[in-house]
Structure 1
Amino acid sequence: MRKILITAILFSLLLQFARPTALTAATQPASDFYGSFQVVGYYPDYWWTPIPDLRYDKLTRVIFFSIYPNIDGTLNTSEIDPNRQAELLSDAHQNNVDVSICIGGWGLSDNFSPVAADPATRTAFVNNLLQYCLDHGFDGIDLDWEPVSTATDRANYTALIAELKAAMLPHDLTLSVAVFAAGSEFYSSAIDDIDYLHIMAYDMSSDPSLPHSTCEGAVQAVKHWQSFGFPNSKIILGVPFYGRDGSWTYYSYKQIVQQYSPPPDVDEVAGIHFNGIYTIKAKTKYVMDNNLAGLMFWELTQDTNDHISLLTAMTDQIHASSPPDLNTDGNIGLQDLAHFASNWLSTGCSTANAWCANADLNQSRTVDFADLSIFSHHWPASD
């Protein structure tokens, strides 16, 4: 009780001068409040969602999908529009969000095997890919060779990863690698060369009539890659923003809610298995509780932009699972209390208002006495 009283007294003093300015609220990216935690969304060019509609306030990185290798080590960029690529890079960087280029993907990986097998072609491919990033201003590369089916390909993929990371290192570019939930795409010697492992913990069921991306399956996928040797600091769990029915037909989350309006605790409707709001929050909490590097999802254009958004559910849970170290400096102190006071009685925290959302500790969409009570139990303290 004494602690709450002291907090309240200091809080009342701070209220006299700690009001936010429009400039501060507009320029502070939500990613600042995640610390080192990663929230990564894939953006496939072919859906043509307007670039300004992407929700940069909730992201740390966007992965632009996709280019792929030609058999001679050059790059095939026919799947993307260069103007949209430039627009994405410009808008994301203005919003303090990094952008990686994806190379490969399902149905776009046939040439990885011959390219990686020949040392000269592999080096040419690495040089071409690095130059593409530098020419266009990408912050990283996301490798997505799928499937990798032979021991020879795994060995060559391991060599490709090592050579690519060595080339990227002087330029401070991030290398992520997308993998299957129970995969073995490369050998463990590649672990040190990979910055982030993107576990595609979806489409996991061999029976299309069963759920393809359960919480239990996600945990098993993480444990599989932990046993492979990856530290938690490199593991990013992938979640689906889509569903599948018994014939393996694909439905975006947006389509599902428009047609069926499922409640938040439901993961199946009309035979379509998907991840609802409660499941996305549960997976997010698991990632937070186990100190994994973050979450990624396929893909950005399949979400809604309202109160039932899966991305909003994800970021709400990130805030709810985090101690109120609001400036993520490793301590809960006066600066955090001042930040909290600056948002006192703010409402509408479901909008793109990162300051408000971060101070709304119980995710009620209003910064109020309940949040002050939560804050007082943590302050003052050190992580």
Structure 2
Amino acid sequence: FNGDVTVNNPGSTPLSGWQVEFDFPGTISSIWSASVVSNTAGHYVIKGADWNANIAAGGATSFGFTASGGTPTNLALVGATPGQPTQPATPKLSVANTVVQEGNGGTADMVFNVSLSAPTEEVVTVNYRTEDFTATAGSDYQAAQGVLTFASGETAKQVRIKINGDTTYETNESLILVLSGITGAEFGTSQGVGLISNDDVNPNATVEDEYRVVGYFAEWGIYGRDYHVADIPADKLTHINYAFADINNSGEVVLFDSFAAVEKAYPGDTWDQALKGNFNQLSKLKEQNPGLETLIAIGGWTLSDNFSDVALTAASREKFAKSAVEFITTYGFDGIDLDWEYPVSGGLPNNSYRPQDSANYVLLVQEIRRQLDLLEQTDGIDGKEYLLTIAGPAGYDKVANFDLAGMEPYLDWFNLMSYDLAGAWDNQTGHQSGLYPTTGSANALYNVDHAVNLYLQQVDPAKVVLGSPLYGRSWTGVPNTADGGLFDPATGAGLGTFEPGVIDYWHIMDLVAQQPNLYKVYWDEQAKAPYIYSTANGGTFITYENPQSLQYKLDYIKSLGLGGVMFWELDSDVRDSDDPRSLIGLAARELLGDQETDTV
């Protein structure tokens, strides 16, 4: 279940450094807007995040968590006067979005999970009914209505809707579960979207459909990773996204590491040439591979602090777009990839955020597209089309802050970051890029299929390029259980290649090849995802992509008519792309075939 706790300060002075304590026999798998200070025999102490640790007089803040295995009790502020416990907030009732594959016949159950944020002694009732969205009652699903009753102490209920199966290819469709007439609680969310995932093969999707194979080249890879532009398997890619350019405080696109980008000398460079570094190497690579295109990726996780500011006004958008267009014409790129992580909320705490970021992002891509269209008319290159893409999130909580439908007319495609759905920030192991949900996972909606379905509600499937990680996420302190530690507690970040908790794919392959008895590979048939368990380092768990899981995703791309696959980041694959273990090589064989980039 998901818990939502509000901390009020009814006093006349600020409340600084608040902490909340409660008893809970279960497991908290994730927490947001706060962190766990301690858990002693089921007695939790929680403190606020840096940004909400202080509450003004008369103010309030809140935090949430995902948990299982019991009911929290004895909720109080740490240091509250004995005998005067903090009064619990009115519980909130919410319904989660859900997804189900329609099947080829009969009916399948679409399950909506309805939950209370906290148990209450009161009986809670709520009415529910289905409504058409893009799905039609009768032909696509069986309409339903009724009343849910939560007895004292109950926090979870389910509503099951019958979905009609067929063998006809169609786009994904959705219905809405509407809640109303609540008693004994208040609404957190009163509507849930149920997506009916088409699982029939698109008869028009073939390997000749001009799929894209996109790879991100990390600027910093030339240092510790010793990975250079010359190492890129360009014949197996259609597009290279160079990560990253920065946004300065004036709202313009600028170089981040100028030495790596334009100054580092490579063999064949002369001391007096104006452009050296990675950018010059990319130009040479495109000369050798005429079908290859390059895009400059702007922002990313660490460089998104100024995005909200540049998207804010017409003047700031025009200035940013002008600088981005000048950047690609100056340095020879074929397009722009925006990596705003993230609008409204969810990125680094020092980023600028505004509630209107979602709408402003649409206006920003609209302005960039306008200026790119003007460039196409004036650059003197006959038939040249400049690309505009974004890196889009996979987590439903972040997708909610993207107006995908509003952005689609101006974008060539969306690079769906369908990875990092689990990692060492969680205190429970899981799949970082599982294709489908698995029983026992901390969040059944954090999977690739659910993310894709959220996009397909708003955008053309051919504009969705599915992301695949060329790295694993790892934990330590994982118990040695029968299923290899899957969804078990963990104590922190595990083995890493360059930093704890993040391990390159080539490194994983070396561990498995050299120590197969110590690093044991498991397969989750539900998720279509591999994982590794090792007794090393107090119990190590690794979630990653391998050829088997990628093959399922490539078949999935073909069946839904998606636009291709994207890899983060190129330096983490095995170096020989013709090696059967190479994920980039597999994608090129499956999606490009004879379409592979021509080489001269």
Distance 2:430 2:421 in 1: 10
Q: Do structure 1's residue 251 and structure 2's residue 503 form an aligned pair?
A: yes
User: Which structure 1 residue ranges, 5 or more long, are not aligned?
Assistant: 1-32, 329-351, 356-383
Quote the residue 1:55 is aligned against: 233
TM-align CA RMSD: 2.3
Q: How do 1:334-373 residues align onto structure 2 when only pairs under 5 Å count?
A: none
Query: Is the 2:418–2:448 Cα contact (8 Å) retained in structure 1?
Result: yes
Q: Secondary structure at the match of 1:308?
A: coil
Quote the residue 1:45 is aligned against: 219
CA deviation profile, 1:305-336 (whole Å, cap 9, x unmatched): 122111122223336xx8xxx5x7xxxxxxxx
Q: Secondary structure at the match of 1:71?
A: coil
Q: Secondary structure at the match of 1:214?
A: coil
| Residue type at the aligned position of 1:268 | Y
Distance 1:142 1:275 in 2: 24
Q: Secondary structure at the match of 1:135?
A: helix
Q: Displacement, 1:268?
A: 1.4
Q: Do structure 1's residue 214 and structure 2's residue 430 form an aligned pair?
A: no
Distance 2:552 2:473 in 1: 20
Quote the residue 1:167 is aligned against: 371
| Residue type at the aligned position of 2:450 | Q
| Residue type at the aligned position of 1:86 | N
CA deviation profile, 1:78-107 (whole Å, cap 9, x unmatched): 234211122123213421210000001001
Q: Do structure 1's residue 125 and structure 2's residue 320 form an aligned pair?
A: yes
| Residue type at the aligned position of 2:245 | I
Q: Do structure 1's residue 140 and structure 2's residue 335 form an aligned pair?
A: yes
What count of residue pairs does the alignment treat as equivalent? 293
CA change 1:191–1:353 in 2 (3 A) is closer
Query: Is the 2:251–2:309 Cα contact (8 Å) retained in structure 1?
Result: no
Q: Do structure 1's residue 186 and structure 2's residue 402 form an aligned pair?
A: yes
Quote the residue 1:242 is aligned against: 471
Q: Displacement, 1:41?
A: 0.4
Q: Displacement, 1:50?
A: 2.4
Quote the residue 1:268 is aligned against: 531
| Residue type at the aligned position of 1:178 | A
Quote the residue 1:318 is aligned against: 591
Query: Is the 1:265–1:278 Cα contact (8 Å) retained in structure 2?
Result: no
| Residue type at the aligned position of 2:589 | D
| Residue type at the aligned position of 2:464 | I
| Residue type at the aligned position of 1:279 | S
State the identity as a percent: 28
Higher relative contact order by CA 8 Å / sep ≥ 6: 1 or 2?
A: 1
Q: Displacement, 1:34?
A: 5.3
Q: How do 1:268-287 residues align onto structure 2 when only pairs under 5 Å count?
A: 268-269=531-532, 270=534, 271-287=541-557
Structure with greater helix percent: 1
Distance 1:242 1:222 in 2: 21
Q: Displacement, 1:265?
A: 7.5
CA change 1:240–1:157 in 2 (3 A) is same
Distance 1:210 1:162 in 2: 38
Q: Displacement, 1:211?
A: 1.0
Q: Do structure 1's residue 89 and structure 2's residue 283 form an aligned pair?
A: yes
Q: Do structure 1's residue 224 and structure 2's residue 454 form an aligned pair?
A: yes
| Residue type at the aligned position of 2:302 | G
CA deviation profile, 1:94-126 (whole Å, cap 9, x unmatched): 212100000010011001111111322221111
Q: 1:300 aligns with which of 570, 575, 578?
A: 570
Quote the residue 2:182 is aligned against: none
Quote the residue 1:67 is aligned against: 245
* Alignment TM-score, normalising by the size of structure 1: 0.72
Q: Do structure 1's residue 103 and structure 2's residue 298 form an aligned pair?
A: yes
Q: Which runs of 4+ in 1 moved over 3 A?
A: 262-266, 352-355
CA deviation profile, 1:232-257 (whole Å, cap 9, x unmatched): 12111111111001234101101111
Deviates more, 1:184-193 or 1:284-293: 184-193
Greater Rg by CA: 2
Q: Secondary structure at the match of 1:245?
A: strand
Distance 2:256 2:591 in 1: 37
Distance 1:51 1:34 in 2: 28
Quote the residue 1:36 is aligned against: 210
* Alignment TM-score, normalising by the size of structure 2: 0.46
CA change 1:222–1:353 in 2 (3 A) is closer
Q: 2:560 aligns with which of 277, 290, 306?
A: 290
Query: Is the 1:285–1:318 Cα contact (8 Å) retained in structure 2?
Result: no
